[in-house]
Amino acid sequence: MNAPAPIDYSRLFRLDGRTAVVIGAGSGIGREAAHALAAQGAHVVVADYSRESAEATAAQISELGGVAEAYELNVLDDDAVEAAAERFGTAAALVFTAATNVRKRMDDYTLDEFDRVVNLNLRASFQLIRRFGARFAANGGGSIIGFASIRAQVVEPGQGVYAATKAGLVQLAKTAAAEYGPQGVRVNVVAPGVVETPLTAQIKANDEWYGAYAQKAALGRWARPDELAGAVVYLASDASSFVTGSTLTVDGGWTAIDGRFTPPAC
């Protein structure tokens, strides 16, 4: 096997001439990821359930000198996902961030709520990974980047179904990495801690809850959506060319800390 060409470190994170599809780019982490990828030279497909939100993000990127196009996509529509994979199967990267949560204890969950969380967080992820994975494999490779959560690793009451979907996504990514790896497709997930997005509005509205989460992280605060963008650029670029089947945890040290009490020094 021929050795890889020497790396030009000055361009390690550049994505010039490449297309990146970002699903959920109408707001939050997805929007910031789209901006970051465009800033590195990628042609960004700004995909979102809301056409209006996708167009707004694409317009922002264009105003900053980047290249972007809006694309309306409902990831719960299997035909629509298949069509998107067909249209953008020659892209270099796929990023998907869409997710939902119903914070209830298991006894209080309805099966309709269970289905809603599982369908968006896990079933849709499965469809995206395998549809784009097959296209990327046929076209010489690519990078697939999903968004899991610290809840794939640590839980609390009221997070059971959400946590299960995120743990499931981690395992799907590992399996896809194994299955598509020989064709040059890398599959990884980013696992954020608490991030100030619309999904966490319920927590932010409760000062005690918000403060408790902030203090749990080693950095003593929540993340901003833009602080996840660097992880996406890394996983989409040549900087991570030998990284696959991995979970990149971006949680401010949340999962590194044992408990919520700092004992006195011995």
Sketch out the chain's domains with CATH numbers: 15-249 (3.40.50.720)
For 17, half-sphere exposure in the C-beta direction (CA atoms, 13 angstrom radius) is 1
CA–CA distance, 94 with 185 (Å, rounded to integer): 11
CA–CA distance, 144 with 232 (Å, rounded to integer): 10
Q: pTM for this structure?
A: 0.94
Q: Catalytic positions, please?
A: 162
Across 14-37, b (16+ Cβ under 10 Å) vs e yields: bbeebbbbbbbbbbbbbbbbbbbb
Distances in Å between the Cα of 72 and the Cα atoms of 32, 47, 81, 84, 188 are 18, 6, 11, 10, 24
Locus of tokens 């099966």: 111
Tens digit of pLDDT per residue, the chain (266 long)? 456 667 889 999 999 999 999 999 999 999 999 999 999 999 999 999 999 999 999 999 999 999 999 999 999 999 999 999 999 999 999 999 999 999 999 999 999 999 999 999 999 999 999 999 999 999 999 999 999 999 999 999 999 999 999 999 999 999 999 999 999 999 999 999 999 987 788 888 899 999 999 999 999 999 999 999 999 999 999 999 999 999 999 999 999 987 666 777 65
> Judging by DSSP bridges, how do beta strands 142-147 and 67-72 pair with one another?
unpaired
CA–CA distance, 151 with 99 (Å, rounded to integer): 13
Cα angle: 235, vertex 90, 67; to 5 degrees: 70
- Other Cβ atoms within 10 Å of 64 Cβ, number: 11
Task: Name the token pair of 157.
Answer: 């009451």
Rounded to 5 degrees, φ, ψ at 249 are -85, 125
Locus of tokens 């980013």: 190
| DSSP 8-state code for residue 227 | G
- Are 150 and 191 in contact by the 8 Å Cβ rule? The answer is yes
Cα angle: 99, vertex 100, 103; to 5 degrees: 145
